Amino acid sequence: MTKKRVYEIARDLGIPSKDLLEALVALGMPGLRAVSTVTDEEADLIREFFRERVPPTPSEAPAEAKAPPKPRGTPRPPVVAVLGHIDHGKTTLLDAIRKAHVAEGEAGGITQSIGAYQVSVHERLITFIDTPGHRAFTAMRARGAQVTDIAILVVAADDGVMAQTLEAVDHIKAAGVPMIVAINKMDKPGANKDRVLQDLAKLGYTPEEWGGTTVTVPVSALTGQGVDELLEMILLVADMEGIYGDPEGKLEATIIESNLDPTRGPLATVVVKNGTLRERDVLVAGSTWGRVRALLDHRGARVAAAGPGTPVQILGLDGVPPAGEAVERIENPNEARRIAAERARASMEERRAVRAPKTFEELIQIAQTKKLVVVLKAASTGALDAAKHELGTLKADGVELELLHAGVGPITESDVLLAAAEEEGQPLVVGFAVRVDGKAARLAEQRNIPVRTYDIIYDLTQDVGRALRRLLGPEYREVKVGEAEVLQTFDIEGVGRVAGCSVRAGRVVRGGRVKAFRNGEEVFVGEIASLKRFTDDVREVQAGRECGIRIRDWNDVRPGDTLEIYTVEEVLV
């Protein structure tokens, strides 16, 4: 018996999977997903049902019946990034998608890469960020830009989940975007899809076909097998997510790539998320500004405007803004120039300021957040497991330690970027028996991200423990400074009982903490309210002298009691 997937039936019927799934619920088949399989009989039933009815075309869809609340604007093309381990086929997959789906006959095909391209599937557009790997992805996030709507995690079926796969998963998780797993190289003899599914399940990403929620699609970037299903899934996930943009709304666009062209000057590619970017607009991006001289689409063709979900290259900025920088439209060119100049000055000052050496304590600021977010790298899987285990034992009440990413290998720029993109907690990058590469060190200095490496696991745990406790603010400790014996007591009206004491050791200090003992048992713990020598208020009284002590809120002090005096001191953790 052959089995069909729901999305395949939807494709046969020429309707979006989402519409079919909604209809299936009405048909009494709830709980199915686009990748769910149905038996032949069920498939026939579904087809029958749709033949009887006039097939609902997307335009006729139940729009009036239940107009869903639109967040803002209209659905726009989803922006997709491809991440995964090196050599698992990210570039090949991006090429395969581009070759197969960029609308044919348009301007003689692709002549240049602008860092992103668009494909058309079922007359809908999908925008792919063309620079594979999570460096670009995280570089953008580190600047607060969330360009990607959906992430594709590429895992080679002959290799399974590897170190950078884990890293990519952590980056995607931190970004909070939906993930689709492309299990690539299915054409290879050693391909083992189940192993990849198992690896994913172990990571807590149970595949849909095993009853979980992780969408997986087996593909071969080389033969093209499964690529259409992958695109189908992207559209489906986009529909589920509800990805909207308003062409008339406020311009929201982010730089994804930029470079200096020897003849045309600075070229910057942006992805527009909302609003419409037009020729002649005056823009500010970071500390650069300019009037748009020309807009080029991903095929190098000149366009007058770019709406939501579209990548476009801009000519006309006066400099090369970094990836992740937001682009703003400013009406007045003078105002735009002023803003850009002001930012350039501020960033110069900032750079100068961070040059000053910072201690570990200064870097681990007493943050408002009570969370320490750690990126951990170690020399081997054994070392990594050991370090992970040790960090797992660290506890401090009221603060949380989150292991954002743990991987094998040196501390790289990507690790620092991941930490720098952290918004909710105090980031910290630590390495166990690994080195920090030069770029990572420079970036850490620029961004004020503490990076530390250790050769002894004990030192690592000590330091991270310290960082964790510092988040709570300073710690205090009582230090015993003296001891006094009560000789007699006086009850003074309106004041309370005063103990006439002889200081036996150390000193008694005003405002100090006091513990009272009677026959060797602690009977009261409190604070010295007043300290007098004869009739004078004094700050402290040394051993061998006598004094009058009144204890706050305690009138039961008796002759013969022993008073231990403590001061409270801040402990440097």
Q: Per the annotation, where are the binding residues for GTP?
A: 130-134, 184-187
398 Cα distance to chain centroid = 21
Interacting residue with ligand GDP among 22, 87, 328, 437 (CB under 6 A)? 87
Q: How far is the CB of 352 from ligand GDP (least distance, A)?
A: 39
Phi, psi dihedrals of residue 85, rounded to the nearest 5°: -70, 150
Binding to ligand GDP by residue 185, rule CB under 6 A? yes
Q: What is the DSSP letter of 358?
A: -
Pattern of binders to ligand GDP over 532-561, x per CB under 6 A? ------------------------------
Closer to ligand GDP by CB, 88 or 143: give it. Answer: 88
Q: Binding site, residues?
A: 130-134, 184-187
**Could you tell me where the DSSP H helices lie in 368-501?**
381-393, 413-420, 438-447, 457-470
Q: Which region, judged by CB under 6 A, interacts with ligand GDP, from 81-89, 100-108, 203-211, 473-481?
A: 81-89
Q: How far is the CB of 234 from ligand GDP (least distance, A)?
A: 18
Residue 401 burial class via C-beta count within 10 angstroms: exposed 0-12, middle 13-18, buried 19 and up: buried
Q: How far is the CB of 135 from ligand GDP (least distance, A)?
A: 12
Question: What distance in Å separates the CA atoms of residue 414 and residue 411, rounded to the nearest whole number?
Answer: 8
Q: Which region, judged by CB under 6 A, interacts with ligand GDP, from 84-92, 116-124, 296-304, 380-388?
A: 84-92
Q: HSE (CB half, 13 Å, CA atoms) of 325?
A: 21
Phi, psi dihedrals of residue 261, rounded to the nearest 5°: -90, 130
Q: How far is the CB of 225 from ligand GDP (least distance, A)?
A: 8
Q: Which region, judged by CB under 6 A, interacts with ligand GDP, from 37-45, 90-98, 257-265, 536-544?
A: 90-98
Burial 337-350 (b: 16+ CB within 10 A, else e): bebbeebeeeeeee
Q: How far is the CB of 30 from ligand GDP (least distance, A)?
A: 35
Binding to ligand GDP by residue 390, rule CB under 6 A? no
Binding to ligand GDP by residue 187, rule CB under 6 A? yes
- Scan for tokens 């954002």, then name that residue: 404
Interacting residue with ligand GDP among 18, 90, 405, 513 (CB under 6 A)? 90
Interacting residue with ligand GDP among 88, 143, 171, 550 (CB under 6 A)? 88
Binding to ligand GDP by residue 91, rule CB under 6 A? yes
Distances (CA, A) of 453 to 293, 391, 450, 471, 525: 48, 14, 10, 20, 44
Q: How far is the CB of 90 from ligand GDP (least distance, A)?
A: 3
Closer to ligand GDP by CB, 188 or 371: give it. Answer: 188
Q: How far is the CB of 246 from ligand GDP (least distance, A)?
A: 35
Question: What distance in Å separates the CA atoms of residue 472 and residue 492, rounded to the nearest whole number?
Answer: 42
Residue 225 burial class via C-beta count within 10 angstroms: exposed 0-12, middle 13-18, buried 19 and up: middle
Q: How far is the CB of 183 from ligand GDP (least distance, A)?
A: 10
Binding to ligand GDP by residue 89, rule CB under 6 A? yes
Binding to ligand GDP by residue 125, rule CB under 6 A? no
Closer to ligand GDP by CB, 225 or 365: give it. Answer: 225
Torsion angle in degrees (nearest 10) through CA of 166, 172, 175, 176: -110
Is the distance from CB of 267 to CB of 315 less than 8 angstroms?
Answer: yes
Backbone conformation region of residue 89, classed left if phi is above 0, alpha if psi is from -120 to 50, else beta? left
Q: How far is the CB of 93 from ligand GDP (least distance, A)?
A: 7
Pattern of binders to ligand GDP over 27-66, x per CB under 6 A? ----------------------------------------
Phi, psi dihedrals of residue 155, rounded to the nearest 5°: -125, 125
Binding to ligand GDP by residue 358, rule CB under 6 A? no
Binding to ligand GDP by residue 132, rule CB under 6 A? yes
Is the distance from CB of 43 to CB of 2 less than 8 angstroms?
Answer: no
Could you tell me the end-to-end alpha-carbon distance of the chain, in angstroms, rounded to an integer? 68
Closer to ligand GDP by CB, 188 or 291: give it. Answer: 188
Q: What is the DSSP letter of 72?
A: S
Q: Which of residues 210-249 bind ligand GDP (CB under 6 A)?
A: 220-222
Long-range contacts, 210-213 (Cβ 8 Å, 24+)? none
Interacting residue with ligand GDP among 12, 60, 62, 86 (CB under 6 A)? 86
Which residues of this chain interact with ligand GDP, rule CB under 6 A? 84, 86-92, 132, 184-185, 187-188, 220-222
